[in-house]
Amino acid sequence: MQKHSAGMPVVEVRGLWAGYEREPVLEDVNLTVVPGDFIGLIGPNGGGKSTLIKVLLGLLPPLRGEVRLFGQPPAHGRRMVGYVPQAFAFDRAFPIRVHEVVRMGRLSRRGLGRRFTAADDAAVRTALDQVDAWRLRDQPFGTLSGGQRQRVLIARALAVEPQLLILDEPTASVDPQGRADLYEILRVLNAHLSILLVTHDMLAISSYVKTVGCINRRLVYHGTRELTPAMLDLGYPCPVELIAHGAPHRVLAAHPSGEQREERP
């Protein structure tokens, strides 16, 4: 699966400043993602999570600093990235079927005026199987539940045959059981691709990701599982209780959140 040498970082961000109209939303951000990573970034609204994603995908040029995907500029490196946007942003009345949505993942491989091929159909099938949604293939996308739509968007990202998945709030419109299922899918996928996820969802942060970072204008990321005092200093309210109790996942499980999850060993 890995076509690149083991030393090549998946994502390399150095001294990044980014934002709109000369007003930086991100300041001096440094981040390295290596193969096999499963990184969860948390942060408040307006803290720069989606700005970071836009820069990584080459949708927003940095004000300063350097961004590399697989050693290339984002506009080239993004061919190896599967991007999963938020599911609720879509027009539910748009007439499109699930398999047509997933097939968009093949666009970068088929130039203007070229038809999709049997290989593309096979990739669509594989991707839908990976998220257990092949049976939904002929359904209109707008009629799916939040969790189903999110799975289809993950399938679209997988149809790229990516080496990195970037997910933006993947569980924002998903019920608790659907969340656990989605994270389970991501954990399986992580066996052969890297994952970078921004979220509010403490379930993901506490139980599924391998390492945690906190982003609020600046990024604090040390490649650790636990939230550190430095992340607390960024002013994000949720980590407080995690750190105060010293044992993140146990604290969350003890809260009556309606999510009856077994604590993982």
Which residue among 1, 93, 118, 191 contacts another protein (CB under 8 A)? 93
Closest CB 100 distance from another protein, rounded Å: 7
Residue 118 in contact with another protein, rule: CB under 8 A: no
Which residue among 7, 95, 237, 265 contacts another protein (CB under 8 A)? 95
**The two three-digit tokens of residue 36, written as one number:** 């096999």
Residue 75 in contact with another protein, rule: CB under 8 A: yes
Kindly write down the DSSP assignment for every residue of 32-81, as one continuous string: EE-TT-EEEEE--TTSSHHHHHHHHTTSS--SEEEEEETTB-HHHHGGGE
The DSSP call for residue 105 is G
Kindly write down the DSSP assignment for every residue of 171-214, as one continuous string: TTT--HHHHHHHHHHHHHHTTTSEEEEEES-HHHHHHT-SEEEE
- Considering only the stretches 25-33, 108-116, 186-194, 244-252, report the one whose residues sit in contact with another protein under the rule CB under 8 A: 108-116
Closest CB 257 distance from another protein, rounded Å: 26
| CB closer to another protein out of 78 and 151 | 78
Which residue among 24, 35, 85, 239 contacts another protein (CB under 8 A)? 85
Amino acid at 239: P
Which residue among 9, 43, 62, 105 contacts another protein (CB under 8 A)? 105
CA neighbor of 255 nearest in space, from 240, 235, 241, 236: 241
Residue 72 in contact with another protein, rule: CB under 8 A: no
Judge whether 52 and 18 are in contact, CB under 8 Å: yes
Residues that bind another protein (CB under 8 A): 57-59, 75, 78-79, 81, 83, 85, 90-91, 93-97, 100-101, 103-105, 107-108, 110, 112-113, 115-116, 140, 156
